[in-house]
Amino acid sequence: MSSDLILISIVIPIVMSLITITTGKSLARKTIVSATLLIILLSALAMLKVVNVPTVINTSFYGIIDKLIKVGDYILLLYTLYISFKVKEPKIAIFAILQILSLAFFELFMLKEQEINTFYIDNLSIIMNLVVSVVGPIIAVYAFGYMDHHEEEKKLTKSRQSRFFAIILLFIGAMNGIIFSNNLMWIYFFWEITSLSSFLLISHDKTEEAIRNASRALWINMLGGFSLLVGIIILYKYTGIITLDSLLKTNSSYILLVPVFFMILAAFTKSAQMPFQSWLLGAMVAPTPVSALLHSSTMVKAAIYLILRLAPTFRGTTLSSFIALYGAFTFIATSVLALSQSNAKKILAYSTIANLGLMISSIGINTSSAITAAILLLIFHAVSKALLFLCVGTIEQNIGSRDIEDMKGLITKMPVTTIITFIGILSLMIAPFGMLLSKWMAIEAASKNLVVALLLIIGSAVTVMYYTRWIGNILSEGRNSKFFVEKQSSTIRFALYSLVTIAIVLSLAVTQLFNTIVKPEINMLKMSVSVKAASGYLESNLGGFTIYPVFFAIGLAIILAILTIKNSRDIVQTTPYESGLNYDDSKNGYDIKNYYLPSIINETVMTKYMNYISLILILAIFGGILL
């Protein structure tokens, strides 16, 4: 039964994507896609109930799938070569050829047939599956309304949405493949499919800029894929291991660290850590659902998933502390770079890279509470960041600009979206929401390692700064504006409301979340559970955080404020103080911009220096293997 569920979640999206690409009519396409998404969601929820973890599952289909994947690898790489000729980007061709040669060498000369379990599931797989299967369909439903409007704006005669949704379904299937596969070669195959779908989706609009950014994304991800393949080959050559379950069963020895380094390097490229961050920033030219789905919630989380899987192998080594330092450096460097941005999608992109750096840093610290923090960060960040990207997409379609300076006074034009964006940004950086709780746990876990702790602390203060000025912009209001519910298409409304509800509910229920899903995972990784959670109080041996009083205080403030506003007979409305002259906004108005600190933070110059430092750190990680 469980193997059927898993096969459904991987195979059906891929098959349905092939069907979708042929469907021309909008209604038929929407029905097929919605049905597929519903199946994915239901199978994820069913797996939550049915599957007993941890377990390995065998199916009789293993042989067929393995052969298909072996062939598919070569087709994929040849298609990538074709793409590199079409877009005239030779770097893609270099890495594709390197991969073809290594793959052929490996499979013809080294690989021997073995008895292999098909799927490996534990609580981490269930968590990732839920993230992909809940957030993914919500974003895809949002994309129904968004892409219609998008194509209207671009005045396209022939709709290209069937290609769009087909690739999204293919991508969701590939993500499920990465999460559940046991054979490392399968993981490599699905990894490359996600790189390819990222290229196809970023270049969806077929403009010059989009194709350029998509090619850059493709060659950096191909570099990662090559690194993953090299890691797998080295692992097989020295230990004969090709599957996850045998990798996790062996004693962690020295010899494992070299292939693990290459696999982690692949994860760094996919999660756009420095110095590979340029592809994620360039990918913001893609339509918003793509940014929300691929580049903040799911694909970049696949990299974190891989590092989490490999975490037991490098626990307690110098490699681990250097990874923590590298993640912390990325966190602070990209947070500081985000301070200089005023483009909303770029701020969100830098923030995504920063939070991924925070997760990698927590995994590098590799204690029980640090891994708990990393898993909780993964869950909360996926939901909140997707919500924010969708809000920015809605705002952009309405006012025609992505710049946060143009979002001044948004609450008068789009009240509901503004309040949802406000709650979304709060859920990313303020106690008592889940992100801050996990950040608290990460800082407490990191405090043994002084340099990492210093970097994380400064980075989180900078985070508060660049989000607060965004909130201030969208909430600034003139006189006498009334609250009204604006017109929104029903799919957009459904997506935004459901994501904001999930964000708030998950933050309230963080202790239940911890006890049901995360604690068994920590047990499974053979670490002692040092975090106790009960009814809103999360306690480790370093301290405790209680969330219910803080939620209560915020609720009390909301109630008091609403009561005061309702009794508004004795409240006098006035204009701001402008030395007695009352400027009218329209006639002789003034404009105040936020601090962007261009004299201190110059994006190009700073990026160059940060790239150098991060390269040195990566070399240090490699050197850490020898220590």
Partner 1 sequence: MGLKEFVKKSFSKSPWVVHYDCGSCNGCDIEVLACMTPIYDMERFGMVNVGNPKHADILIVTGTVNEKNKDVLKNVYDMMPQPKVVVAAGICACSGGIFRDCYNVLGGIDKVIPVDVYIPGCPAKPEAMIDGLYKAAQILKDKYSRREVIVSAKSLG
Partner 2 sequence: MTWMEYLVFAIAIIVTPIIGGFITGLDRKVTALIQGRYGPPILQPFYDVTKLLSKEKMIVNDFQIFAAYIYLLSAILSIGFFAIKADLLMIVFIMSIGLVFYIVGALATRSPYSQVGAQRELMQMLAYEPLLIFVLIGMYYVSGSFSLKTIMSHGRLLLDLPLIFLVLCLVLDIKIKKSPFDFSTSEHAHQELVRGILTDYSGPYLALIEIADWYELVLLLSMIAIFWSQNLIIGALISLLILFLDIIIDNISARMTLKWMLSFSWIVGIVFTVVNIGYLYFSNVSR
Judge whether 423 and 415 are in contact, CB under 8 Å.
no
Of 401, 501, 541, 582, which one interacts with partner 1 (CB under 8 A)?
A: 582
Instruction: Give the pair of three-digit tokens for residue 353.
Output: 């890279």
- Gap between the Cα atoms of 309 and 31, Å rounded: 36
In the DSSP assignment, the letter for residue 108 is: I
Q: Based on CB atoms, which residue is closest to partner 2, 403 or 477?
A: 477
With CB cut-offs between 5 and 8 Å by kind, which of partner 1, partner 2, none does residue 546 bind? partner 2
Residue among 205, 207, 206 at smallest CA distance from 288: 205
Length of the chain: 627
Helix H or strand E encompassing 47:
helix 26-50
With vertex at residue 269, the alpha carbon angle to CA 268 and CA 275, rounded to the nearest 5 degrees, is: 85
With CB cut-offs between 5 and 8 Å by kind, which of partner 2, partner 1, none does residue 560 bind? partner 2
Q: Which residues contact 110 (CB under 8 A, 6 or more apart)?
A: 233, 236, 237
Phi, psi torsion values for 57, nearest 5 degrees: -125, 135
Ordered DSSP codes for 368-379: HHHHHHHHHHHH
Q: Based on CB atoms, which residue is closest to partner 1, 563 or 581?
A: 581
Provide, rounded to whole angstroms, the least separation between the CB of residue 523 and partner 2: 24
Provide, rounded to whole angstroms, the least separation between the CB of residue 545 and partner 2: 5
> Which residue's entry shows tokens 């006035």?
574
With CB cut-offs between 5 and 8 Å by kind, which of partner 2, partner 1, none does residue 582 bind? partner 1
Residue among 262, 267, 364, 245 at smallest CA distance from 316: 364
Helix extents (H) in 400-489: 410-413, 415-429, 434-446, 450-475
With CB cut-offs between 5 and 8 Å by kind, which of partner 2, partner 1, none does residue 581 bind? partner 1
589 sits near partner 1 (criterion: CB under 8 A): no
Q: Based on CB atoms, which residue is closest to partner 1, 515 or 582?
A: 582
Instruction: Give the pair of three-digit tokens for residue 255.
Output: 């010899």
With CB cut-offs between 5 and 8 Å by kind, which of partner 1, partner 2, none does residue 529 bind? none
With CB cut-offs between 5 and 8 Å by kind, which of partner 1, partner 2, none does residue 443 bind? partner 2
Residue among 200, 174, 210 at smallest CA distance from 10: 174
Provide, rounded to whole angstroms, the least separation between the CB of residue 580 and partner 1: 4
Provide, rounded to whole angstroms, the least separation between the CB of residue 430 and partner 2: 5
With CB cut-offs between 5 and 8 Å by kind, which of partner 1, partner 2, none does residue 457 bind? partner 2
Provide, rounded to whole angstroms, the least separation between the CB of residue 457 and partner 1: 36
- Gap between the Cα atoms of 602 and 212, Å rounded: 24
With CB cut-offs between 5 and 8 Å by kind, which of partner 2, partner 1, none does residue 41 bind? none
281: β partners:
none
Provide, rounded to whole angstroms, the least separation between the CB of residue 561 and partner 2: 4
With CB cut-offs between 5 and 8 Å by kind, which of partner 2, partner 1, none does residue 580 bind? partner 1
| CA dihedral of 191, 196, 197, 201, whole degrees rounded to 10 | 140
With CB cut-offs between 5 and 8 Å by kind, which of partner 2, partner 1, none does residue 594 bind? partner 2
Of 542-581, binders to partner 1 (CB under 8 A) are 572, 574-575, 577, 579-581
- Gap between the Cα atoms of 287 and 202, Å rounded: 8
3-state secondary structure at position 535? coil
Provide, rounded to whole angstroms, the least separation between the CB of residue 595 and partner 1: 23
Q: Based on CB atoms, which residue is closest to partner 2, 156 or 600?
A: 600
Provide, rounded to whole angstroms, the least separation between the CB of residue 616 and partner 1: 52
In the DSSP assignment, the letter for residue 449 is: S
Provide, rounded to whole angstroms, the least separation between the CB of residue 482 and partner 1: 23
Provide, rounded to whole angstroms, the least separation between the CB of residue 475 and partner 2: 4
> Which residue's entry shows tokens 């990191």?
446
Q: Based on CB atoms, which residue is closest to partner 2, 318 or 594?
A: 594
Binding site for partner 2 (CB under 8 A): 409, 429-431, 436, 440, 443-444, 447, 450, 453-454, 457-458, 461-462, 464-465, 468-469, 471-473, 475-479, 541-546, 549-550, 553-554, 556-558, 560-561, 564-565, 570-579, 585, 590, 592, 594-595, 600
- Using CB under 8 A, list all residues that contact partner 1: 572, 574-575, 577, 579-582
